[in-house]
Structure 1
């Protein structure tokens, strides 16, 4: 009788690895697993959307929600490292509204075309679509939008200010009365400071970059914007921690009773309701302060755009799943649970939203008049330059700071490659 041959060890190991990892037959032996990388959500809205869309697929796919780090820089860093390594496990990803140009230029995300593109663009706010577009091509589907309002206590100031000048005057008056008076704003050296500056520049009628994003624009509007930052930082309105303040610290300052105003995102509303029910009846909102009385503020739009990874094994299913994740029902849940404004216009008049989102009309107005952060693949470089030049806010010298910043932005735009 012939001797029985045992399989080669290498073949056994290969078979084991293919079985353990799903191998090439995983798409046919069960539902495809789509990995969705997004910001960490404590409200449960994202997991609820992933579960709902998995059920709605009829067994064709399951969405696994993978949480990215909490900071935007950490989120981007993890995605960049995975995509630079051609990681096939990144099927869907939540992009900050500034990342589409960079990721598209690198070839890391897939373009939306045909009927799926039409479905994304239908009912979506124009400014949100702009954040997901690069060189006239759509590379992502806006999941949620975001904007800032002025939040204040009406027991301290019954009539909200319309301009930054009025805001500082009201804060000064409250300080002289020995009452809570701080104006909370994002003054730390990070993306939030860039957003503050960009909003002020746009509100003054200018822009950070030229239309073709090849050079800094800045000019008098930027000097005016830097003057607003300097004036607040050197006034009684400034929180002593201004140079370290981010969104959540601003929220906590108002909740603690030391501040009278904050410019912040709508997430502060459900937080105040839950954390300080005694102060909540006096918690009000108004449009973001204008730089000049004759021009409404052009608040920098925020949000998350969902993109399909270039290296995943199931791009068609990933596009389909993305459409589900950002549909009407899931955006409504995300707004109600997570406090994140939708990117679909029709939701702003939906009774389910307006009942819990009494400021929906003000958010929509702000989004319809929104400004965008500088549109360039080198945005990360530009943002770092801006935040560095304006930190700490109390040291800003408008003319000199803007002149220095212009040179730093030129250097940022001329840099090669991607910041890791």
Structure 2
């Protein structure tokens, strides 16, 4: 049975939306702390067992990884048994536990689900095994470019970029909007294609008595980094040189400076617009979803989990603009013991789209393609594993086409394998699948790949917060300075 996009509130299958730790140090400090804590792990280990492949996966989506682990174990014909182990819910806690086990040379850890922004850090530390060439070639052939790029890195001993993990599942943001409201107030339900159009449409709707807020993620956490990076990439800029991650490119050329300024101008315009969300400086995925569902906004930028949320809450009467069309399906949509099939959801989804619809992430310029954030998880083989070849074989099964389809249809996490987007069952579960695929067909708004990404993100979000308090022109150099500090690893960072 499918849940469609029934990811829990705030969950994107990605790093966005998770709590960001307050203090960050250089990788060396993290490794040192992990090593110091390693003796504490000895009592937790059950010991190495040949043929048993331990996979560590995040709490969000764990049940589906565990389900696939049982399938792979059976299909292996006794060659291996996959033991699924759950990591904490918070991204920072997940990262810390993995780092402690790796630094402690834990031989019981074979496979680990990694947030897409950890690849460079773990690869540079020597904590993950590069994907064998034959398997990497298969990933290259079958996976979408954006998710695949998040699993690649050029390590100290590499002559070029290579694959360090297997894409497990992915995600991206879309524009969610009220076509009925637009039709009534603007005379057209065509969604805006740029942020300037989005602001203009919102103001026009507000002038006629409609909702005036644009729901985004702007508090001091990873969601703010996602928003900034999506705008920056859409404007033609980058935080770091893709070919030289030690080089800051926010202000190194007039063109790059202009892109950064434009991205910041958009953020400032949204944060200070008449009728803006009064709590925008504390907004995250959950508050954005709630603002849309309670009728405060005509537009929302968010991950696809909002679709299932609106559908269920509309059926229970908690979304006023969906209540009349969804309340007849309340028993069907709220039956957890016997959830609706994809075929049952398809006509309901079509009705919903007349009141709550989706479109591509808005661009910054009319003549430049929009770039939306890429989230998700990749599956890597730990360098401490005593059976890496067997671990890769198990990892291939856990990330296979059938596995990813199950994660997508049952778990609500978009697949990285291109062919799944043409699958009939998938299309029923994912009415917005075409928009997601288009956003992921290229590198999208991949966040800057760097072993110091955690520090970069923390400093960028600390500098940008609160989003309604700075001037775009002067903010450019402040951001560049902070990113350089992160790269240089200048002590403890706020």
Q: Could you tell me the TM-score, scaled by structure 2's length?
A: 0.76
Q: Structure 2 vs 1, CA of residues 96 and 418 (structure 1 numbering), >3 Å: closer, same or farther? A: farther
Q: Structure 2 vs 1, CA of residues 43 and 319 (structure 1 numbering), >3 Å: closer, same or farther? A: closer
TM-superposed deviation, 1:141:
0.4
Specify the alignment match of 1:387 in structure 2: 461
Q: Distance in 2 between matches of 1:404 and 1:166?
A: 29
Q: Structure 2 vs 1, CA of residues 21 and 154 (structure 1 numbering), >3 Å: closer, same or farther? A: closer
Q: Which runs of 5+ in 2 are unaligned?
A: 1-41, 155-160, 183-188, 251-256, 316-321, 324-351
Residues 177-223 of structure 1, C-alpha deviations (whole Å, 9 max, x = no match): 33333211111111111111111111111111123122211111111
Q: Does 1:62 align with 2:81?
A: yes
Residues 377-402 of structure 1, C-alpha deviations (whole Å, 9 max, x = no match): 11111111111111111113101111
Of 23, 26, 38 in structure 1, the residue corresponding to residue 57 of structure 2 is 38
Specify the alignment match of 2:281 in structure 1: 243
Residues 218-271 of structure 1, C-alpha deviations (whole Å, 9 max, x = no match): 111111111111110011353222222222332222223322211111222222
Of 430, 438, 452 in structure 2, the residue corresponding to residue 378 of structure 1 is 452
Specify the alignment match of 1:170 in structure 2: 201
Specify the alignment match of 1:314 in structure 2: 387
Given that 1:229 and 1:396 are in contact with CA atoms closer than 8 Å, whether structure 2 keeps it comes out as no
Q: Distance in 2 between matches of 1:123 and 1:53?
A: 20
Which is bigger in relative contact order (C-alpha 8 A, separation at least 6)? 2
Q: Distance in 2 between matches of 1:237 and 1:221?
A: 27
Q: Structure 2 vs 1, CA of residues 257 and 54 (structure 1 numbering), >3 Å: closer, same or farther? A: farther
Q: Structure 2 vs 1, CA of residues 248 and 48 (structure 1 numbering), >3 Å: closer, same or farther? A: farther
Q: Distance in 1 between matches of 2:177 and 2:271?
A: 19
Of 417, 435, 446 in structure 2, the residue corresponding to residue 344 of structure 1 is 417
Q: Does 1:205 align with 2:224?
A: no
SS at match of 1:168: helix
Q: Could you tell me the TM-score, scaled by structure 1's length?
A: 0.88
TM-superposed deviation, 1:72:
2.2
Q: Structure 2 vs 1, CA of residues 402 and 122 (structure 1 numbering), >3 Å: closer, same or farther? A: same
Given that 1:181 and 1:261 are in contact with CA atoms closer than 8 Å, whether structure 2 keeps it comes out as no
Residues 116-146 of structure 1, C-alpha deviations (whole Å, 9 max, x = no match): 3233333111222221111112110011121
Of 172, 178, 186 in structure 2, the residue corresponding to residue 147 of structure 1 is 172
Q: Structure 2 vs 1, CA of residues 249 and 377 (structure 1 numbering), >3 Å: closer, same or farther? A: same
Q: How many residues align structurally? A: 396
Specify the alignment match of 1:287 in structure 2: 360
Of residues 61-70 and 298-307 in structure 1, the stretch that sits farther from structure 2 once superposed is 61-70
Matched ranges for 1:130-279 at <5 A:
130-135=149-154, 136-157=161-182, 158-211=189-242, 212-218=244-250, 219-236=257-274, 238-277=276-315, 278=322
Given that 2:62 and 2:86 are in contact with CA atoms closer than 8 Å, whether structure 1 keeps it comes out as no
TM-superposed deviation, 1:161:
1.0
Q: Which runs of 5+ in 1 are unaligned?
A: 1-17
Q: Distance in 1 between matches of 2:268 and 2:380?
A: 38
Q: Structure 2 vs 1, CA of residues 252 and 37 (structure 1 numbering), >3 Å: closer, same or farther? A: farther
Given that 2:60 and 2:89 are in contact with CA atoms closer than 8 Å, whether structure 1 keeps it comes out as no
From the CA coordinates, give the structure whose radius of gyration is larger. 1
Given that 1:175 and 1:236 are in contact with CA atoms closer than 8 Å, whether structure 2 keeps it comes out as no
Specify the alignment match of 1:109 in structure 2: 128
Q: Distance in 2 between matches of 1:418 and 1:306?
A: 30
Q: Distance in 2 between matches of 1:418 and 1:134?
A: 26
Of 411, 414, 419 in structure 1, the residue corresponding to residue 485 of structure 2 is 411
Q: Distance in 2 between matches of 1:140 and 1:43?
A: 18
TM-superposed deviation, 1:368:
1.8
